[in-house]
C-alpha cells in the first residue's frame, strides 16, 4: 500500500474508532457471557436435554436467535444464542462502516479535497475498504476472545467467531453499493438498513416457517447459520459470503469509477414547486425533514410486530416440565410458553427499539446544532426552549406512534392466526413502551444540553448498557439491587403481567424532570460550531 493510501486508511479507521470499539466491547461481552451463563444455569446433560426439548424448539426464540442445530453443548448453545443475535449486529456494523467511509466523507466535501490531491479514486476506495476490513478484524478478535474466556475451546471459538463476523463484510459490500446508488449519506444508510431488515426477515421466515428452510441460503444471516459452528461445521459455506462480498465490492467499485463525486446513481430531483406544508415552526419543519425516516421506522416496526404476532400462535407449553418453566422464567422472560407470554416477552425488544429511536432523535437535534442550521434558526425571534421543547415533543409523539403501531400490529398478526387476545391489552402492551422511552428521551436531552458533542454516544450507550444489564444480569444471578439499576427491570410484561403504573410514573417523572433541566441548561450555554 502506498503512503497516501495508508494515511487515508488510518484516517478512515480513526474517524470510526468510537463506533468500532463500542461494537467490539459489546461483541466481546456478549460472546463471553452466554457460554458462561449457560454452563452455570444448566450444569448437567440432563438439564440441557430438557432445556433443548422445550426452550430451543420454541419457534418464538428462533426468531431472535436463529435455528438451534445443537443446543446441548455449551458451544452449540453459544453458536445459537450469540451467533444469531450478533450476526444481526455485525450486519448493521458493516452497513454503518461502509457508508461512513465511502459516503459521509464525500457528502461533507472532504473527498473532493482528497481527490483534488494526487490520489486516484481507486486508491481512495481501496483505502476505505482497508479501514473497514481492519474494523471487521477487530470484531472478529473481540468475539474470539469472548468465547475463549467464556470457556469454549480455542479452535471452535475461532470458527464460531469467523461465522458470526462473516456477515459484516457482506453488509459492508451492501453499504458500499448503497453509497454509490444513493444521492446522499442519509439515503445510503436507509437503503443499507432496509437491506439488513429484509435479509433478517428472510432468515426469520426460514427458521420458523415449515418448509421454508431453503430460504436460509438467500440471506447472509442464513449463511452464518449454515456454517454450523459446534454442530457439524460446514466451512465450505464460507465461499458464499466471500463471493457475495467480492461481487458487491466490485460492483460498487465499477459504479464509483464512473460516477460524479457527490452524486448518486439514483438521481434526486433538485427542483420542485414549493410545498408550503409543515413550515410553520421548527418542529414542523423537523418533522418534514424526518418524515422519510419516521415512515421507515413505522413500517419496520409494524412488519416485525405483525410477524411476531403471527408466530405467537405456534407457541405452546405442551410437554414442558414445571422445573424447566421455572428456569425459563428465570431468564427474565416471564412465561414463554403461551402466545400471550411470548408476546409479553417480545415487547421487551420493542421497548428497546423505541428507546433506540429516541436516541436517533437526540442525534438529529445535535446534528442540527453542529451543522449550524440551529444558529440560523435561533437568530430568528425564536426561543431556545421553544426549539428544544418542540423537538422533544415531536420525538415523544413519534415514540407514541411507534408504540401504538407495535401493539396494534402484533394484535392483528396474532388474531389472524386465531390467537384469542384482547386488542385493548395489546395496545396497552404498546403504550407500555412509552415510559422507558420517555425516560431515555429526558436523559438524552439532558446529555445534549450539557455535553452536546457526546450526546448521541451517551444516549445510545445508556440504552444499550441498561438493556444488556437486564438481559445478562438475570443469567448471572447478580444481587437484586444491582439488577434493579436498569429501567428494563421495572417494566411490567404486559399482557402477561399487569402494567406497573407506579414504576411507569416514576420513569416518566424522571424523564420529564431531566427534560426540564435540559431546557434550563440549554438556555444558558453557547451554541457549538462544527
Q: Of 226 and 290, which CB lies nearer to other proteins in the complex structure?
A: 290
* 44 scored as a contact of other proteins (CB under 8 A): no
List 214, 232, 260, 273, residue binding other proteins (CB under 8 A): 273
**Minimum separation from the CB atom of position 367 to other proteins (A):** 12
Q: By CB under 8 A, which span of 160-168, 345-353, 373-381, 457-465 interacts with other proteins?
A: 373-381
Alpha-carbon gap, residue 103 to 324, rounded angstroms: 50
Buried b (16+ CB within 10 A) or exposed e, 56-86: bebbbbbbbbbbbbbbbbbbbbbbbbbbbbb
Binding span for other proteins by CB under 8 A among 245-253, 273-281, 448-456, 490-498: 273-281
Residue labelled with grid coordinates 436523559: 443
Non-local (6+) Cβ contacts of 376 within 8 A are none
Three cell numbers, residue 230 = 459446534
What secondary structure letter does DSSP report for 61?
H
Residue of 211, 274, 319, 418 that binds other proteins (CB under 8 A): 274
Exactly one of 57, 385, 457, 461 binds other proteins (CB under 8 A); that residue is 385
Q: How far is the CB of 379 from other proteins (least distance, A)?
A: 4
Closest distance to other proteins from the beta carbon of 375 (Å): 6
276 vs 318 by CB, closer to other proteins: 276
364: contact with other proteins by CB under 8 A: no
Q: How far is the CB of 204 from other proteins (least distance, A)?
A: 34
To other proteins, the closest distance from the beta carbon of 370 in angstroms equals: 10
Q: How far is CA 317 from the centre of its chain?
A: 30
Closer to other proteins at the Cβ: 207 or 369?
369
User: Rule CB under 8 A: is residue 416 a binding residue for other proteins?
Assistant: no
Q: How far is the CB of 228 from other proteins (least distance, A)?
A: 47
Please tell me the distance from the alpha carbon of residue 507 to that of residue 434, in angstroms, as a whole number.
10
**Does 57 interact with other proteins (rule: CB under 8 A)?**
no
3-state DSSP call for residue 432?
Answer: coil
Output DSSP code: residue 528: P
527 binding other proteins? (CB under 8 A): yes
Listed in sequence order, the residues at least 6 apart from 482 whose beta carbon sits closer than 8 Å to its beta carbon are 473
Candidates 10, 53, 384, 500; binder of other proteins (CB under 8 A) is 384
Q: In whole angstroms, how close is the CB of 319 to other proteins at the nearest point?
A: 57
The DSSP 8-state label assigned to residue 420 in this structure reads -
Lookup result for grid cell 481492519: 134
Does residue 466 contact residue 352 with C-beta atoms inside 8 Å? no
Q: Which element (helix H / strand E) includes 133?
A: helix 121-149
Name residues contacting other proteins, limited to 276-305 (CB under 8 A). 276, 279-282, 285, 288-289
DSSP 289-355: HHHHHHHHHHHHHHHHHHHHHHHHTT---TT--HHHHHHHIIIII---SSHHHHHHHHHHHHHHHHH
The C-alpha angle with vertex 199 and arms to 198 and 201, in degrees rounded to 5, equals: 65
Confirm or reject binding of residue 112 to other proteins (CB under 8 A): no
3-state secondary structure of 461: helix
Stretch that binds other proteins, among 137-145, 380-388, 449-457, 497-505 (CB under 8 A): 380-388
Own/partner pairs, 103-110, CB within 8 angstroms, 24+ separation? 103/178, 103/179, 103/182, 103/184, 103/185, 103/188, 104/185, 105/12, 106/179, 106/185, 106/261, 106/262, 107/184, 107/185, 107/262, 109/262
Smallest separation (angstroms) from other proteins to the CB of 283:
12
- Integer Cα distance of 428 and 530 in angstroms: 42
Ranges of H-type helices in 329-383: 339-370, 373-378
Binding mask 485-524 toward other proteins (x if CB under 8 A, else -) reads ---------------------------------------x
Closer Cβ to other proteins, 135 or 452, answer by number: 452
Nearer to other proteins, 210 or 275 (CB): 275
In the complex with other proteins, the residue whose CB is nearer, 1 or 527, is 527
User: Which is nearer to other proteins, 214 or 273 (by Cβ)?
Assistant: 273
Which string of x and - marks every residue 170-199 that binds other proteins (by CB under 8 A)?
--------------x---------------
Q: Is the peptide bond between 244 and the residue preceding it cis, with omega within 30 degrees of 0?
A: no
Question: Which stretch, 229-237, 243-251, 297-305, 381-389, contacts other proteins (CB under 8 A)?
Answer: 381-389
Chain centre to alpha carbon of residue 454: 19
For position 116 contacting other proteins by CB under 8 A, the verdict is: no
CA–CA gap between residue 393 and residue 391 (Å, rounded): 5
When asked if residue 220 is in the footprint of other proteins (CB under 8 A), the reply is no
Choose between 272 and 318: whose C-beta lies nearer to other proteins: 272
Cell of 203: 432468515
| Minimum distance of other proteins from residue 471's CB (angstroms) | 38
Q: How far is the CB of 246 from other proteins (least distance, A)?
A: 34
Distance CA 509, CA 26 (A): 30
Work out whether 393 is an interface residue with other proteins (CB under 8 A).
no
Is 260 one of the binding residues for other proteins (CB under 8 A)? no
Minimal distance in Å, beta carbon 266 to other proteins?
A: 15
Work out which of 381, 418, 480, 481 binds other proteins, going by CB under 8 A: 381
Output the nine-digit C-alpha cell for 443.
436523559
What are the grid coordinates assigned to 492, written together?
A: 411490567
367 contributes a contact to other proteins by CB under 8 A: no
- Residues 148 and 152: their CA atoms lie apart, in Å, by 5
- 267 part of the interface to other proteins, by CB under 8 A: no
The contact set with other proteins (CB under 8 A) reads 184, 269-276, 279-282, 285, 288-289, 371-373, 375-386, 524-527
Amino acid at each position: 500500500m502506498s503512503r497516501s493510501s495508508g494515511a487515508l486508511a488510518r484516517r478512515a479507521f480513526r474517524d470510526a474508532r468510537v463506533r468500532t470499539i463500542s461494537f467490539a466491547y459489546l461483541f466481546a461481552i456478549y460472546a463471553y457471557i452466554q457460554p458462561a451463563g449457560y454452563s452455570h444455569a444448566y450444569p448437567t446433560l440432563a438439564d440441557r436435554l430438557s432445556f433443548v426439548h422445550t426452550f430451543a424448539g420454541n419457534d418464538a426464540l428462533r426468531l431472535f436467535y436463529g435455528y438451534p442445530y445443537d443446543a446441548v453443548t455449551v458451544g452449540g448453545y453459544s453458536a445459537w444464542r450469540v451467533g444469531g443475535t450478533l450476526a444481526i449486529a455485525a450486519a448493521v456494523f458493516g452497513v454503518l462502516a461502509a457508508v461512513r467511509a465511502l459516503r459521509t466523507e464525500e457528502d461533507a466535501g472532504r473527498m473532493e479535497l482528497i481527490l483534488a490531491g494526487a490520489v486516484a479514486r481507486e486508491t481512495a476506495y481501496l483505502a476505505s475498504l482497508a479501514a473497514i476490513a481492519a474494523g471487521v478484524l477487530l470484531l472478529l478478535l473481540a468475539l474470539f476472545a469472548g468465547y475463549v474466556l467464556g470457556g469454549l475451546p480455542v479452535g471452535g471459538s475461532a470458527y464460531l467467531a469467523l461465522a458470526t463476523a462473516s456477515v459484516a463484510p457482506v453488509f459492508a459490500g451492501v453499504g458500499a453499493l448503497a453509497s454509490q446508488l444513493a444521492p446522499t449519506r442519509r439515503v445510503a444508510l436507509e437503503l443499507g438498513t432496509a437491506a439488513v431488515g429484509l435479509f433478517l426477515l428472510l432468515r426469520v421466515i426460514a427458521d420458523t416457517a415449515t418448509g421454508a428452510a431453503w430460504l436460509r441460503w438467500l440471506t447472509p444471516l442464513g449463511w452464518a447459520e449454515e456454517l454450523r459452528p459446534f454442530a457439524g461445521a460446514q466451512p465450505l459455506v464460507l465461499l458464499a459470503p466471500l463471493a457475495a462480498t467480492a461481487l458487491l465490492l466490485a460492483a460498487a467499485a465499477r459504479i464509483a469509477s464512473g460516477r460524479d463525486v457527490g452524486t448518486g446513481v439514483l438521481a434526486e430531483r433538485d427542483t420542485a414547486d414549493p410545498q408550503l406544508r409543515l413550515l410553520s415552526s421548527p418542529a414542523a419543519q423537523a418533522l418534514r425533514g424526518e418524515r422519510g425516516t419516521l415512515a421507515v421506522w413505522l413500517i419496520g416496526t409494524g412488519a416485525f410486530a405483525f410477524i411476531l404476532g403471527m408466530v405467537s400462535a405456534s407457541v405452546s407449553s405442551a410437554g414442558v416440565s414445571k422445573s424447566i418453566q421455572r428456569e425459563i422464567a428465570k431468564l427474565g422472560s416471564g412465561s414463554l410458553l403461551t402466545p400471550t407470554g411470548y408476546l409479553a416477552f417480545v415487547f421487551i425488544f420493542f421497548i428497546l427499539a423505541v428507546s433506540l429511536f429516541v436516541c436517533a432523535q437526540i442525534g438529529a437535534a445535535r446534528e442540527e446544532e453542529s451543522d449550524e442550521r440551529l444558529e440560523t434558526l435561533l437568530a430568528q425571534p425564536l426561543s431556545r426552549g421553544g426549539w428544544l421543547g418542540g423537538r422533544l415533543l415531536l420525538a415523544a409523539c413519534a415514540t407514541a406512534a411507534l408504540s401504538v403501531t407495535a401493539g396494534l400490529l402484533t394484535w392483528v398478526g396474532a388474531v389472524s392466526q386465531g390467537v384469542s387476545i384482547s386488542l385493548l391489552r395489546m395496545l396497552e402492551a404498546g403504550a407500555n413502551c412509552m415510559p422507558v422511552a420517555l425516560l431515555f428521551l429526558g436523559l438524552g436531552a439532558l446529555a445534549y444540553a450539557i455535553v452536546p458533542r457526546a450526546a448521541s454516544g451517551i444516549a445510545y450507550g445508556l440504552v444499550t448498557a441498561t438493556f444488556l444489564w437486564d438481559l445478562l444480569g438475570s443469567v448471572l444471578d447478580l444481587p437484586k439491587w444491582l439488577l434493579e439499576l436498569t429501567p428494563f427491570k421495572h417494566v411490567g410484561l404486559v399482557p402477561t403481567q399487569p402494567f406497573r403504573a407506579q414504576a411507569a410514573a416514576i420513569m416518566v417523572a424522571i424523564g420529564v424532570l431531566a427534560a426540564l433541566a435540559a431546557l434550563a441548561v440549554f438556555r444558558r450555554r453557547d451554541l457549538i460550531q462544527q
